[in-house]
Amino acid sequence: MNARQSILDKLYQTRDLADFIPTKAEAPKLPTWNDQQKLEKFTQMISAVNGEVHSCEKNNWPHKLLEIAQQNKLGNLLHAPQTEWGAVLAAYFQATEHQLELLEYPQSIDEEGFKEKLFFSIDAAFTGSIGAIAETGTLIVWPNQHEPRLMSLVPPVHFCILEKEKIWNTFAELIENAGWQKGLPNNALLISGPSKTADIEQTLAYGAHGPSQLIVLVV
């Protein structure tokens, strides 16, 4: 008998023998906030774990991004001009004078030399988000064909844009209402701050394996 059948048989055969009646309990009441409070809560929570939040206008955020990039002496930035926000960014950079080299993700990570470049010489990446969660200061990021998984992970600085009307109260509220049950992308992420660890003496250190800086541009 194969392992699958054997395990399932054991579980099926024992389940009725054991008089195990699961307890029942209602979901506790979850916090809700108004739009202004949600933004404040989000900002407070993500800032507490070293996320940097900048509130911008719909028309000046690329300027803000450039400013931060210059302050941080970033040499290059990975972006996806095929996306709505990426296109705005690309247009702004075309019309502006700057030293920042704009890069694009090639057709595939396996393209000659790109993986090495991504791992060892790309300074920053810019991606969109599909919203946020106020309670925990969390960005919701769905990687896609234009902004693949490694964009928000490998470069040391991650810029992420967030539309302030898209902030949920809690993760539970999001799951209840966003229809994710109908189908999830191959990868969905919740990101709450830059990468961190407390594995040495419980002392917090940022920039463990993922980005050491997470910069959120709220529009």
Partner 1 sequence: MSNSQKYTPNTSATSHIPVRQNDFNHQAHDALNDGQLRTNFRRAMDGLIAKRTAQFPDSDDLEARRLHAEAIRQRCLNKLPQLLEQLESNLKANGIKVHWAETAEQACEIIYGISECHQAKSMIKGKSMVSEEIELNHFMAERGIDCLESDMGEYIVQLAEEKPSHIIMPAIHKNAVEVAKLFEDKIPDHSYTEDIDELIQTGRRELRKAFFNADIGLSGVNFMVAETGTLCLVENEGNGRMSTHVPPVHVAVTGIEKVVEFLSDVPPLYHLLTRSATGQPITTYFNMISGPRGENEKDGPKEVHLVLLDNGRSQAYADAQMRKTLQCIRCGACMNHCPVYSRIGGHAYKTVYPGPIGKIISPHMMGLEQTKDLPSASTLCGACGDVCPVKIPIPSLLQRLRIELKRVVSSNDPQQVNMKGAGAGYNAIEARVWKIFSWIYSSRYRYKMLSWMASRFGKLLPNIGPVAVWSKVRSKPVPANKTLHQLMEQRSRQASGQSNGSDK
Number of residues lying near partner 1 (CB under 8 A):
80
Q: Which is nearer to partner 1, 27 or 95 (CB)?
A: 27
Of 62, 86, 128, 210, the residue at the interface with partner 1 (CB under 8 A) is 210
Q: Which is nearer to partner 1, 136 or 219 (CB)?
A: 136
Cβ of residue 98: shortest distance to partner 1, in angstroms?
26
Cβ of residue 22: shortest distance to partner 1, in angstroms?
4
Interacting residues with partner 1 between 122 and 181 (CB under 8 A): 135-138, 143-145, 148-150, 153-154, 170-172, 174-176, 180-181
Of 86, 128, 155, 211, the residue at the interface with partner 1 (CB under 8 A) is 211
Contact between 121 and partner 1 by CB under 8 A: the answer reads no
Of 26, 57, 97, 112, the residue at the interface with partner 1 (CB under 8 A) is 26
- Yes or no: say if 118 and 150 are a contact pair by the CB < 8 Å rule: yes
- Yes or no: say if 49 and 196 are a contact pair by the CB < 8 Å rule: yes
Residue 43, C-beta contacts closer than 8 angstroms, at least 6 positions apart: 53, 137, 218
Q: Which is nearer to partner 1, 139 or 217 (CB)?
A: 139
Contact between 14 and partner 1 by CB under 8 A: the answer reads yes
Q: Which is nearer to partner 1, 66 or 134 (CB)?
A: 134
Of 38, 42, 43, 45, the residue at the interface with partner 1 (CB under 8 A) is 45
Residue 194, C-beta contacts closer than 8 angstroms, at least 6 positions apart: 49, 50, 51, 158, 206, 207, 210, 211, 212, 213, 214
Residue 130, C-beta contacts closer than 8 angstroms, at least 6 positions apart: 140, 141, 142, 166
User: How many CA atoms lie less than 13 Å away from 116 in the CB half-sphere?
Assistant: 3
β-bridge partners, 103 = 78
Stretch that binds partner 1, among 63-71, 83-91, 122-130, 193-201 (CB under 8 A): 193-201
- Yes or no: say if 170 and 140 are a contact pair by the CB < 8 Å rule: no
| Residue environment code for 173-199, b if the CB has 16+ CB neighbours within 10 A, otherwise e | bbeeeeeeeeeeeeeeeebbbbbbeee
Interacting residues with partner 1 between 78 and 107 (CB under 8 A): 105-107
